[in-house]
Structure 1
């Protein structure tokens, strides 16, 4: 007579691995009730599926931002999959939140992937879930931010998330950091301010604008002065602290933060998007 696992054991294996009921039942049957062996069977299935789907694009998923208890450090990760259907799945999103919570204490993606996650490494968990879901599952982005006060924002649908670091932990810092993170998520600035814009980006923008002005027939002796104004506008539109504040366009983001506290400044931000 072939072994038939008890329903309680099937449920226990499913709770630990997230695998489907039938997959758990088959694994326990093959393992003849040996729980650890059944887990290995499910992992091997995941490895096989992962190998078969290694060349697939995993551009969907969930982007999650979390901060530590004293708001001095935050992390944004993306848990990537192949389809939007899986990316919106409740269990998938819950896993993304749980992984992001664990990621807070690690300084880079490699350390995070090697860390213990319920008796297996995070990397092993991703392979296991690849087998369970049948899609390529991986950690895409891993971004950290530290500061005197760090706040987070996750856009509805979990496709974009951002972190903002402020210069001090003051009254109103929580709302300010969230609002500026929302700004970063919505407006996608290229840098914190003009000093953080890469020279490559500046040179490219100057080249484009200089070409336009030359084509318009502007005299060479005034083009450089016009370019200064063009670059100021570029910084205003594309750097976080100089952008118009989305909740009140009469002020810049820097002015908004100062309205919370006269000495408060934005010291950094991180933005991750699936698109």
Structure 2
């Protein structure tokens, strides 16, 4: 049997994030072979992942990243079972490292198949860490946004992240895009503008408005016109460019973005964990 040194255990721990005893036991089982020990830890993760497959993984960390020239942004959520794990510094660091990899990919499947290290893919890393942490881990959301300029914001606690796409890159675009991303995180708009609101949502809002008006005793022939007014209010409160800008209630988000010049918001993404 090969001698397992403290240095060997520490090296495996740094590579995998596994606990000291798990690393020592894996090295002993692998007769000191480092790669075999990693495989043993991965198989342990596979067993735990299978046992916990039906668990709810509604906690985690939501991370937004933008590439170097600010033309592409991504949001991923690395989900886990408990808030205790979600707040762990090592878990958040891993989520950020995964986001750094995700920025180079355009689909969740492509991202999961990408190399996390020279030893394993992102998906294999998630499986391995399931064994290390003892909770179900998975990538929940994977969003991509591309434009002339993309800015991002991660809310404190890593529970909400947002991306904003602008029609042009200009002086001040980074600050404005971050401010608008903060607006998106806080106000959760349903669409970019009224054209982006789904018809079933519009129909539902009109029916709600009419029901309220009937309860108030308004005549049936007046309901359509009054309901349209209420719908316009819904658009103002719930579509991004029409919302009142939270840092200056004298202007809309669209008006704030126009302080950059001939620039518009052309898209956004928002991911939140309950």
Q: Same fold (TM over 0.5)?
A: yes
User: 2: CA distance between counterparts of 1:173 and 1:151?
Assistant: 8
What is the rounded CA distance, in whole Å, between the counterparts of 2:24 and 2:159 in structure 1?
A: 34
Matched ranges for 1:13-32 at <5 A: 13-32=12-31
- Match for residue 141 of structure 1? 141
Q: CA deviation at 1:210?
A: 1.4
What is the CA RMSD across the aligned residues, in angstroms? 0.9
Matches of 1:15 and 1:196, distance apart in 2: 47
**Displacement of 1:98 after TM fit?**
0.4
Separation in structure 2 between the aligned mates of residue 4 and residue 187 of structure 1, nearest angstrom: 59
Q: Give 2:37's aligned residue.
A: 38
1:201-216 to 2 correspondences below 5 Å: 201-216=201-216
Deviation of 1:207 (Å): 1.1
Question: 1:209: Cα distance to partner?
Answer: 0.9
SS state of the match for residue 250, structure 2? strand
Aligned length: 273
- For residues 162 and 172 of structure 1, what CA distance do their matches in structure 2 show? 18
User: Cα deviations across residues 90-115 of structure 1 (Å, max 9, x unaligned)?
Assistant: 00000000001110111111111111
Runs of 4+ in 1 over 3 A off after TM superposition: none
Per-residue deviation, residues 3-39 of structure 1 (Å, max 9, x unmatched)? 4311221121112111111111110011011111111
1:11-160 to structure 2, matched below 5 A, reads 11-118=10-117, 119-160=119-160
Give the whole-Å Cα distance in 1 for the aligned partners of 2:234 and 2:73. Answer: 29
For 1:170, the equivalent position in structure 2 comes to: 170
Contact 2:193 2:235 in 1 (8 A): yes
Is 1:196–2:196 an aligned residue pair?
A: yes
Give, in whole Å, the separation in 2 of the partners of 1:223 and 1:203.
14
Unaligned runs of 5+ in 2: none
Instruction: After superposition, give the CA deviation of every residue in 1:64-110 in whole Å (9 maximum; x if it has no partner).
Output: 00000000000000001111010000000000000011101111111
Distance 2:188 2:170 in 1: 26
| Residue number in structure 2 paired with 1:9 | 8
Counterpart-to-counterpart distance in 1, 2:101 and 2:206: 43
Residues in 1 aligned to 2:201 and 2:84: alpha-carbon distance in whole angstroms: 37
Q: Deviations over 1:18-65 (max 9, x none)?
A: 111111111001101111111110001001111111111011110000
Unaligned runs of 5+ in 1: none
SS in 2 for 1:218: coil
Separation (CA, whole Å) in 2 of partners of 1:217 and 1:246: 35
DSSP 3-state at the match of 1:107? coil
2: distance between equivalents of 1:210 and 1:84? 42
CA distance in 2, matches of 1:249, 1:22: 57
Q: Which moved more, 1:116-125 or 1:88-97?
A: 116-125
The two structures have a TM-score, normalised by structure 2, of 0.98
Aligned partners of 1:150 and 1:203: how far apart in 2?
33
Q: How far apart, CA to CA, are the structure 1 residues paired with 2:192 and 2:21? A: 51
Helix, strand or coil at the partner of 1:164: strand
